Amino acid sequence: MNQTSVSLISVNDWVSQILGEAKHKSPAAQASAYAPSNIALSKYWGKRELSFNLPITGSLSISLAEHGTKTGLSVIDAPMHQVILNGKEVSANQSFSIKVSQWLDRVLPNVLKLRVDTHNTVPTAAGLASSASGFAALTLATNSLMGWQLPERQLSALARLGSGSASRSLWHGFVKWQAGEQANGSDSVAFPLEHQWPELRIGLLTVSSQKKAVSSREGMARTITTSALYNQWPQQAESDLATIETAIIAGDFETMAKTAEHNAMSMHATMAGAWPPLVYWQPDSLTQMQKVWQLREQGLPLYLTMDAGPNLKLLFEAKHQSDVEAAFPEVQVITPFG
């Protein structure tokens, strides 16, 4: 099928093509899956197409090991899906429940309704990629429940429909999400990189666990339409991605971490240039950032990155972990390849 014809297809029809007869399989009684959250070292910020959730640029991330989402599914006899988040039922009219139910209705037979029991080990909607791990875990659990046995490429594409970054959360380690060119996003999928980096450490500095006032989806749209600074972003994002991937393969920590920090700061600059200005930072975010920069000036090879939220993620190597923990007693240290 060529690009012209697939551009006319609906998301639901495209999903039906992916699943084929598997969409109508009889489900198991229950299933569960875990997916890690991920932090983009090279960000994507902006969509080229909304219904298929397609990015303007590619991105590259590192997964956060035990920090993520576990989702259990069970078949229920009810008129609608039931969504449980961290032990509390989410009403059907709340955005989280609506997004989960919409995703399920696209991939399941019409009559099938599920209880979705989701537990996040990272704050929800606070810039720590809880939606990424959430929809990745939901995709993996549904694949198991329905016996789809889909290739990882197709699972990545399905997860992307719920949350763009979920396409990267199916795996541990480094993951690259290619932007793709096809109108239906069939080539906009993620895949893991083979390279391992046992000495790499990620430090989580949680400034706030509160839900952010402006969602990433809304923030991207505002930035693209109102920020003149965004014109330079796609070219830089693609260049940064290539630099970071090359540095990972070479084991070049300084180049990887420095480029990741510059990439994050540039993304936030495009947001600040939007109107109304879009600033996810809180006062303590900047305080912690300045502390990182001061420590680096003093000789500690410590870098940071930030997604669309107030929380910092520190990048450093194992040999400096004690110094980082001494400077930031509240930091949560993650060993991605531990």
Domain match, 84 and 161 both: yes
pLDDT per position as a tens digit, 25-56: 999 999 999 999 999 999 999 999 999 999 99
Domain containing 319 — which CATH number?
3.30.70.890
pTM of the model: 0.93
Q: Which of 192, 220, 252 is the last residue of a domain?
A: 192
> Given a cut of 80, is residue 332 above it in pLDDT?
yes
Confidence class of residue 123 from pLDDT cuts 50, 70 and 90?
low
Q: Which domain holds residue 292?
A: 200-334
Average pLDDT over residues 283-306: 98
Domain match, 155 and 61 both: yes
Domain match, 255 and 322 both: yes
Point out the least confidently predicted range of 19-28, 114-123, 124-133. Answer: 124-133
Q: Which of 192, 213, 244 is the last residue of a domain?
A: 192
Domain match, 15 and 135 both: yes
Q: Which of 171, 192, 213 is the last residue of a domain?
A: 192
Residue appearing with tokens 């839900």: 211
> Given a cut of 70, is residue 299 above it in pLDDT?
yes
pLDDT per position as a tens digit, 146-205: 999 999 999 999 999 999 999 999 999 999 999 999 988 999 999 999 999 999 999 999
Domain match, 58 and 89 both: yes
Domain match, 11 and 110 both: yes
Average pLDDT over residues 246-258: 98
Number of structural domains in the chain = 2
pLDDT per position as a tens digit, 69-87: 999 999 999 999 999 999 9
DSSP letter (8 states) at residue 318: G
Domain match, 319 and 205 both: yes
Domain match, 188 and 286 both: no
CA 237 to chain CA mean position, Å: 16
Structure token pair of residue 319: 């040999």
Q: Residues of the chain with pLDDT > 90: what percent?
A: 88
CA 301 to chain CA mean position, Å: 26
The Cα–Cα gap between 222 and 97 comes to: 24
Domain match, 212 and 327 both: yes
Amino acid at 1: M
> Given a cut of 50, is residue 261 above it in pLDDT?
yes
Domain match, 162 and 284 both: no
Own/partner contacts of 147-153, CB < 8 Å, gap of 24 or more, are 147/22, 147/25, 147/27, 147/28, 148/19, 148/22, 148/25, 149/22, 150/18, 150/19, 150/22, 152/191, 153/189, 153/191
Domain containing 96 — which CATH number?
3.30.230.10
Domain match, 218 and 149 both: no
**Which pLDDT value is given to residue 127?**
45
Domain match, 184 and 241 both: no
